[in-house]
Amino acid sequence: MSTLFGRDILRTDTLSNEELKLILSTAARFEDVTRAGGRLRNMEGRLLATLFFEPSTRTRLSFETAMLRLGGQVISVADPKTSSAVKGESLADSMRTVEGYADVIVIRHPQKGSAQEAADAVAVPVINAGDGAGQHPTQALLDVYTMQKEKGKVDGLTVALAGDLKNGRTVHSLVYLLKRLGARMIFVSPAELEMPPEIVTDLKTGGTDIQITSDLAAAMRSSDVVYVTRIQRERFEDPSRYECLKGSYVVDMALVCQAKPGITIMHPLPRVDEIATEVDAYEGAAYFRQAANGVPIRMALLALLTGRE
């Protein structure tokens, strides 16, 4: 039987399909219990340390909520300026110290590869909550959990991914999961921000159906889900090019009305202008439900890694 006891969660591609299903089904089970007003105590007497070497309120609060909703407790470094790293301590040393306090550690760090380095230093399970341009596996997991909840399944869905596909670690983690779960994908971006070709090649190997376009409206007409990410001005050498383009990647009700009926709209948040607030009232606007789904997914991971599911 599949188990994740004692494992780290640093990236999604090291998870087997069986492990992936175990995480999603455990999350669903936990969500059912709490939705019915039940209380879970799986992590009672256990301690989570959240170490944020780069601030991220949303992710930190989501993990802390998950731990507290399981009856556990939390110690936290929310602000890099209060950490020992400012005194010149290595990440490995910081981790080994915190290992003396906590049963499981969540780390967010601006540097790619740091989560692996952190996990290598300690015996307790480590969860990567984002390592710079690297991975953000729990985001990708809650994204597919959301699609499954909103659409009943991921297999056979057509998912449009729109916005900055070049630089977004979120979409890079997500597309590999979508491939494994049997989704078709449409990549929608300006030419400057296209999905890196090596990823496209990876995905096409094995026969995943991938389309590439810069036409958001057309993509939304044939998609079950549109996953919107932000286009940042800083990514363009020529600012006027940004000004020309930004309007084409804003999801508003005019676009939604022309899209495939019932289309689900997702966004990893925070949103700035990419989705008009008028869309919030649309039934298929799933982005706040998506954020809330981070809690059961992280509950599942905390319990599974510590052997208390």
Residues that bind its own copies (CB under 8 A): 39, 44-45, 47, 49, 52, 55-58, 61-62, 64-65, 68-69, 73, 75, 77-79, 81-84, 86-90, 92-94, 96-102, 269-272, 277, 288-289, 291-292, 294-295
Query: Which of 64, 143 has the CB closer to its own copies?
Result: 64
Query: Which of 37, 247 has the CB closer to its own copies?
Result: 37
Query: Which of 71, 113 has the CB closer to its own copies?
Result: 71
Q: Which residue has the tokens 């209380």?
A: 39
Minimum Å gap between C-beta 69 and its own copies is 7
Query: Which of 217, 292 has the CB closer to its own copies?
Result: 292
Active site residue 108: yes
Catalytic residue among 26, 59, 138, 158: 59
Query: Which of 39, 191 has the CB closer to its own copies?
Result: 39
Minimum Å gap between C-beta 7 and its own copies is 21
Catalytic residue among 108, 169, 179, 180: 108
Minimum Å gap between C-beta 218 and its own copies is 28
Minimum Å gap between C-beta 71 and its own copies is 9
Residue (of 295, 294, 291, 288) closest to 67 by Cα position = 295
Q: Which value, to the nearest 10 degrees, does the dihedral of the CA atoms of residues 183, 59, 128, 79 take?
A: 160
Q: Which residue has the tokens 């997500």?
A: 174
According to DSSP, the residues that pair with 37 across neighbouring strands are none
Pairing of strands 225-228, 184-188: unpaired
Active site residue 235: no
Query: Which of 102, 127 has the CB closer to its own copies?
Result: 102
Minimum Å gap between C-beta 116 and its own copies is 17
Catalytic residue among 58, 112, 153, 204: 58
Active site residue 59: yes
Measured CA to CA, the distance from residue 18 to residue 305 in angstroms comes to 15
H or E stretch including 253?
helix 253-258
Minimum Å gap between C-beta 176 and its own copies is 26
Q: Which two tokens stand for residue 22?
A: 């175990």
Active site residue 169: no
Whether residue 124 contacts residue 104, with contact meaning beta carbons closer than 8 Å, is answered with yes
Catalytic residue among 136, 149, 169, 230: 136
Identify how many contiguous H helices and E strands the chain contains and give both numbers: 11, 9
Cβ contacts of 147 within 8 Å, gap of 6 or more: 154, 157, 159, 183, 225, 264, 266
Q: Which two tokens stand for residue 293?
A: 């789904």
Catalytic residue among 35, 39, 81, 87: 87
Measured CA to CA, the distance from residue 291 to residue 266 in angstroms comes to 10
Measured CA to CA, the distance from residue 110 to residue 34 in angstroms comes to 33
Cβ contacts of 188 within 8 Å, gap of 6 or more: 160, 161, 162, 163, 165, 213, 214, 215, 216, 219, 249
Active site residue 205: no
Measured CA to CA, the distance from residue 68 to residue 18 in angstroms comes to 27
Residues tagged active-site:
58-59, 87, 108, 136
